[in-house]
Every structure is written in structure tokens, then in C-alpha cells.
Amino acid sequence: LRADYFAYEAKYKDLKDTIEYLNPDYQKLYNARAALFTKGSADNLISQIPQNLKEDPGLIYDRIKWRRKKSRFDEALTLMNQSASDTLMRNQYLAKERLSVARDKISDKEYKIAYDILKDHRLNEGADYAEIEWHLGWISLSFINQTDVALNHFLKMNAAVTYPISKARAAYWIGRTYKKLGQTTQANTWFRTGSQYGATFYGQLSHIELNEKKFSISNSFKFNEDKYEEFKKNNPQAKAVIILKELNRTRYSKDILRHLGDVEQNRTNEEISMAGLLAQEIERLDFAIQIAKNASYKNLNFLEISYPIIEVPKQVKKQKILDSSVILALIRQESEFDTSANSKVGAKGLMQIMPATARLLSKVTNIDFSREKLTKDKDYNLALGSYYISDLDEVFGSHYLSFAAYNAGPHRVEKWIKKYGDPRKKQIDAIDFIELIPFQETRNYVQRVSENINVYEYLNDPNNASNKIEKILYR
């Protein structure tokens, strides 16, 4: 049924437009399902559903999802145990709910229950499959001491992923599992595999495990000045990009630049590099980063266009600012260096500062508050954001905890420390603490900013670079 698809996808308007064409019994079913993802309660509508449709898998799924969103995890689990998903599509939707409920159980230290929730995922491929298999391995290794079981799950995860971030993650955890099993040779083999992804968080952690002093990151960037000038002069699309810059319409050059540097169209490394350089030349560092990120999925690193360098303050008021590599790493994750960036929740500018936070920071720093300048004046945004992250770093005495606080709020980080243990006091491993962060966005944020620091440090002195990830996590 089309209605079934629209309901699973929470496409309310499409679903409502379809319902009138269904028979009366199914109208009652899908009106209830629509209410479950648009209203506070749907009990009255659910009570009107004919008995033979009350066990409809889609209805049960929507009821599970509704309870999970209300943080009624135990009730969601009860319904989950009653569900009879019989198609791949339904298993895929239900998998996300399984993961949400399981993470709640992990947070409450009910690890065996979390494992049991996830083990019946009924998937055999895809991103959700890989994520659940990783969680099953993590629970087994870190919390319930079933190392052999953990290895099996991590190997399954590794076989299911292709992107460098995921391959590095799998390799690190397989290596860590072999290390716990006392199988050093196998552990180092996997750590070496992981370390090949030097621009990633877990790739950098794998490198640390090998105890090798030299740290390097593969770089596919290729530049020839004469060819670049010829490219700008003779390529019609490059010329269009330059004209758009002259007209102050650079936003319209995004798709053109992506096309010029699209790794999926078998562009050469030199062509990708030139597309990124052109984006930088028209002052769209964000477009250059996006070109490079797209190539990074093929494990091609274009460091010069992917990690731009701008001047950052060394001091704001009397606050000493963190090293430029930290500030640049954070900006790259926050806005991709887009001065005019606006997030869905209202964060603004280079360092994605909420106006209310900016107002408070302005008082502390004696810098006049201006909402408009957050997206118009990069130096203003930089001053406030640099001050804030540096102050957080002093408060928490930890880079990665300050990153989590910048993204999710200091009060939440304090709450997590109280709940999970203080990694600064060795009450919990720093890596496990990061993975325990309840918000997927914040977990990802902390890892991406941390890995970015290492890349910026590497670019600063490629011949003498050292791996700073251990210092970031354990200083």
C-alpha cells in the first residue's frame, strides 16, 4: 500500500491525501498512524481500529516510535518484543528504534538487556546493520566481557562498510579486541589497517597503538600553476564560476564546482585539486571542503583544499586562546568556514554561535553585541567563539570534553560525567565515554573535531608531525 510507505516515512500530507481512497477499516488504521507522528496522543483513534488490524506491524512500529520519542523506553521495549516484522523494510525502520532503546539501556548500565534488544535486528546489510553490529561488539567487549563474541560482531561490521571513517572504526575495534585476547600479531595487523586512514579519529587511535613515532596522512592534492591558470582561462565552467564571483553571486557556483571536482565522474586528482582551488579563490572555502569531503569517501585526501587556514586570535580580553589548530578544527566542523552559515536551530556564522550565547559572551568580553555581525563580521564571530571554546577548555581541563560542551552545552557534559564516570580521573576510558554520549550528533562532533586537529598539526609541519590524538584524549 502507498499509505503504508507514507506512514513509515512520516509523510503526513501524502498520507492524508491517500487515506480517503482506502476502505473504512484502513482509514481508521492510517488516521491513527498519522496521529501518532503528529499529535500528542492517539488513544481515541487507536481504540476505533478494528480488532483484526490492531496488530498491524506498521501500527506497532509507530506506537514504539511514539513511546521512544516520549522517553517511555520500557513501554517501547514491551511493544518491540511483541512486534513481528516480516519484511526487510519493516526491519530497517524497527532497527533504528531498537538502537535508540538499546542505547537507553546502555546508559542505565543494563548492558545484557541492551545486547538482547539488538541481537534480533533481522538485518543483513546496510548502514543500520553495521551500526548495530558495532554496538553489539562494543557492549560485548567493554561491558559484559565476552571478547570472542565481540570479535565476531566487529568483523561483521567491517565487512559491511566501505567509507574510511567506518573502516577505520572497525579496524581499531577489531585490533583492540585481539589485543584483549592476547593475540598481539593479529591486533597489530588490524591497527596497521586502521592507521592507513590517518585523517580519521579511529585511524589516528590505531596509529597510537602501533607505537610508531612518524605520523603521516596520505595526500592526493596535485597542483601545477600553469595548468591551473590555463584551466581558469579556457574551461567554460571555470569561467562561469569567476563571472559569478564578479557578480557577487557565488552561491550559484556550488553545483558547477562540485561537477568540476566530482570524484564520481572519474576526475583526476589534478582536476579535483583545481576545482577546490577555484572554490577557495572565489572565497567559498565551504565549497572547496565539500569537494574534498566527497573525494574522501573514496579514501582520497585533498588536504590543502579540505583544511583551509585562516588567521585566528591569540587572545581575547585576558583569555589566552587555544592553539590555532583547535580553533580551525572546530570551525571546519561547525560551518565549513562559511561566514554566513545559519543552522536550523539558529546558530550563526563561522563558529555557529547561538545569539543568546553571543549576548552573554559579549558581556564577558566587553565586545558590543550585534546579532547581524555574527554572520557579517568573521572577526567578531571568531573572537566570541574562540573565547568560548578556550574558556570551556579551562573549565573542563580537556579538549574533547570542551568540544562536547560547545556542541551540547556544559550542563549536559557535567551530567554525563556524573552518570558515566569521570574520564579525567580514569573512572572510565575516554573512548568509551565519547561513545556513551547520548546524542549521535555530539559523538560524531567530538570525533570529527579531534581528528581535524591532527590534520592541521600535520599540515603545519608534515616532515616532523606527531600524532596528537592521545594528548587530546588523555592530557
pLDDT tens digits for 185-202?
Answer: 999 999 999 999 999 999
What value does the mean pLDDT take over residues 135-146? 98
pLDDT over 70 percentage in the chain: 99
State residue 45's pLDDT score.
Answer: 92
- pLDDT tens-digit map of 300-331: 999 999 999 999 999 999 899 999 999 999 99
Give the containing element (helix H, strand E) for 315. Answer: strand 315-316
381: its cell numbers: 564571530
109 has pLDDT over 60: yes
85 has pLDDT over 60: no
- Residue 463 carries which DSSP code? G
Q: 427: which residues sit within 8 A by CB, 6+ positions away?
A: 421
What is the pTM for the complete model shown?
0.94
CA atoms of 38 and 56, how far apart (whole Å): 19
pLDDT confidence band for 397 (50 / 70 / 90): very high
Q: Are 306 and 296 in contact (CB under 8 A)?
A: yes
82 has pLDDT over 90: no
84 has pLDDT over 70: no
pLDDT confidence band for 403 (50 / 70 / 90): very high
pLDDT confidence band for 160 (50 / 70 / 90): very high
State residue 445's pLDDT score.
Answer: 98
How many other C-beta atoms lie within 10 A of the C-beta of residue 80?
Answer: 23
pLDDT confidence band for 55 (50 / 70 / 90): confident
CA atoms of 296 and 77, how far apart (whole Å): 38
Q: List, in sequence order, every residue forming a beta bridge with 315; answer none if it has no partner.
A: 320
How many other C-beta atoms lie within 10 A of the C-beta of residue 293?
Answer: 12
Say whether 377 sits in a helix, a strand or coil: coil
439 has pLDDT over 70: yes
State residue 86's pLDDT score.
Answer: 58
State residue 39's pLDDT score.
Answer: 74
